[in-house]
Structure 1
Amino acid sequence: MIARLENLRKSSVVFGHLTGLTVAAFDALAADVVPAVEAAHKKALERPNRQRAVGGGDDFDLSTADQVLLTVIWLRQYPTNEVLGFLFGVSDSTASRARTRCLPALEQAGRDTMRTPDPGTARRKRLPALLAGTPGLAVVIDSFEQRTPRPKRRPRAYYSGKKKAHTLKSQVAVDEESGAIVDVSDSVPGPWADIKRLKKSRLMKRLPKGVGGIGDLGYVGMGELHPTGLGAAPRRKPRGKDRPPEDRKYNRAFSRRRIVVEHAIGRLRRFRAVAHLNRHPRPRHAMRVRAIAGLVNRMLKHRAS
């Protein structure tokens, strides 16, 4: 029972290493998530087709706050159920049920932290002449891949030639000004082209008026997906020719705008549930990424305050 909340509070350093959050940030998270988990559990107990009366059966071995803590530690460290149960003094099946209860609420809490830039209040960047044709207010878009076991059905659909492995791809959009994650797409097979994933997500059409998008070479042509053409990507090298010096300067300046999304993906992948080999059902992969994105956003907000 060494990983119970009342014990971990005594060491902020250990708490931070296990969860990726400060104690204060976790308390703020628990204040939002615990009522949602309890409300969802109550709704499940009161469903019309339930065979057992409410109150029947054994009590859950963990408090709701400890269940949330268990789920956050699982996202950060990605241990097996046996290890997770041992840390909390419960069985592996109890640890698994706690994760199943809390993950949807953490996903929703993550969605609640995602806010696209407001053109009415955010400051537009003062761009150099080189980047005058790019959006002054933009979200920066990129994707990352996570290895997954070889599927039994349609394995070639998930084989990424780039990673030389079977993978799942997640698209992330980041507020250029704050570095906060503003959108996480549904996960798709790794071989999907970035521009195809962007088109399928309809993110460019969901951006507020006056907000554009910028991406890397995988997003060439993204401006065509925006209602007013607010999209930009680096310049490709002309086929069979040397790259013009002005293109080198442009791409270097463009990369300085894009670096914010690389940092955001780095923060996401410090959580091993999206960095190590995926061991869980593929359809729930996006739920985990959104839950982690919410934790990353909360830490950014906590540090800024």
Structure 2
Amino acid sequence: MVFDYIEKYAHRTKQILGISYEQLQSLLRCAEKRHQDIKVKQEKQKIRINASGGGRPSKLSISEQVCLCLFYLRQMPTFQVLGMMFGVSKTEANDTFHYWIPILRDILPSSLLEQVSNNESDLLFVQEVLTNFRLLVDSLEQPIYRDSDQKEQQKYFSGKKRQHTLKSLMFGIPEGKDIVEVEVGSPGPTADINLFRKSQEKFDNSQPFAGDKGFQGGKNITTPHKKKPKRELSQQQKDENKALSSNRIFIEHLIRLLKIFRIASQRFRLKLETYEQIILTVCGLVRLRIGSLILPT
């Protein structure tokens, strides 16, 4: 069993699940509490004929169920293999995964702005503080399976990647210390600059950004100098490009951490309706991994 292995070799938890053993324990406590709250709410809404506690008990403990969900996000086996590894059927593995994903999504805010979005004063304060930083922005694309419908194929076909993809946009604090905002699940052909302009509405009007050449023409964003036909860049322009590239590398590091979870890097196999929920959950796990998200004890 995967969970027994982790209990025995705690130092290998990050390799197997993507987060450390200590972070896993805090996540398990929050997930179990949220699970109990859901059960209490459901029980109040039920009209019972039989006493509670009946039915077939689950083969897996709550900790093992959460571990199963995290293992799928990190390793992405088939549900058949996932069930074999946790000693349950393919169907139960699938049902367990889809039960816990909404709970983890609720526990793990995908970005700093989402974390403070429920309190308007906190949100305005964070937006103001962020103007002191030049936020890093970059896009990423993930392959999906080709739809049988011709119009749907055209909608998702990315000429850049030469395959059908979904595109996401990530904003990060300098030095990659946190994920500030994420725009997830746009069709592959969507231009980076259009995604950026849409997401820019969530920030202060004076918020500065830094991006690559795909964001040229955007408001308040610094991009590399582009070489004109038959002309060379000046030494100053080359130095400025180099400095910008050195700063922007940290958003690439954040994207790399996202892609450590194979559900966010390999071809997406689940229903597209679940894409946003799952990728935002993974963003929350990345924030937990790098220490920018601290779960309540």
Whether these two folds match at TM > 0.5 is yes
Q: Shift in Å at residue 51 of structure 1?
A: 10
Of 193, 196, 199, the match for 1:198: 196
Determine which structure has the larger helix proportion and give its number. Answer: 2
Counting only pairs closer than 5 Å after superposition, residues 1-305 of structure 1 correspond to structure 2 as 2-4=1-3, 6-44=4-42, 47=45, 55-111=53-109, 114-115=112-113, 118=126, 137-153=133-149, 154-200=152-198, 203-208=199-204, 211-223=207-219, 230-301=220-291
Q: Shift in Å at residue 192 of structure 1?
A: 0.8
**Distance between the aligned counterparts of 1:120 and 1:285, measured in 2?**
31
Larger CA deviation: 8-17 vs 191-200: 8-17
Number of aligned residue pairs: 282
Q: Shift in Å at residue 208 of structure 1?
A: 4.8
**Distance between the aligned counterparts of 2:233 and 2:36, measured in 1?**
59
Larger CA deviation: 157-166 vs 43-52: 43-52
Contact preservation (8 Å) 1:215, 1:232: yes
Deviations 1:136-169 (A, max 9, x none): 5122111111111101222011111111111111
**Distance between the aligned counterparts of 2:53 and 2:293, measured in 1?**
42
Q: Percent identity?
A: 27
**Distance between the aligned counterparts of 2:51 and 2:282, measured in 1?**
35
Contact preservation (8 Å) 1:137, 1:210: no
Larger CA deviation: 261-270 vs 102-111: 102-111
State the 4+ residue runs in structure 1 displaced beyond 6 angstroms.
48-53, 119-122
Give the direction of change, closer, same or farther, for the CA distance of 1:110–1:195 in structure 2 (3 Å limit).
farther
**Distance between the aligned counterparts of 2:48 and 2:260, measured in 1?**
40
Deviations 1:182-233 (A, max 9, x none): 2221311111111111223xx322225764222111111221xxxxxx3322
Match of 2:119 in 1: none
Q: Shift in Å at residue 55 of structure 1?
A: 4.4
Q: Shift in Å at residue 242 of structure 1?
A: 2.8
Q: Shift in Å at residue 77 of structure 1?
A: 0.1
Q: Shift in Å at residue 50 of structure 1?
A: 9.8
Larger CA deviation: 244-253 vs 139-148: 244-253
**Distance between the aligned counterparts of 2:128 and 2:157, measured in 1?**
43
Give the direction of change, closer, same or farther, for the CA distance of 1:53–1:191 in structure 2 (3 Å limit).
farther
Larger CA deviation: 286-295 vs 104-113: 104-113
Q: Shift in Å at residue 18 of structure 1?
A: 1.2
Contact preservation (8 Å) 1:41, 1:101: no
**Distance between the aligned counterparts of 1:54 and 1:187, measured in 2?**
41
Contact preservation (8 Å) 2:110, 2:283: no
Query: Structure 2, unaligned stretches of length 5 or more?
Result: 114-122
Give the direction of change, closer, same or farther, for the CA distance of 1:236–1:280 in structure 2 (3 Å limit).
same
**Distance between the aligned counterparts of 2:258 and 2:249, measured in 1?**
15
Query: Structure 1, unaligned stretches of length 5 or more?
Result: 123-134, 224-229
Contact preservation (8 Å) 1:204, 1:212: no
Match of 1:128 in 2: none
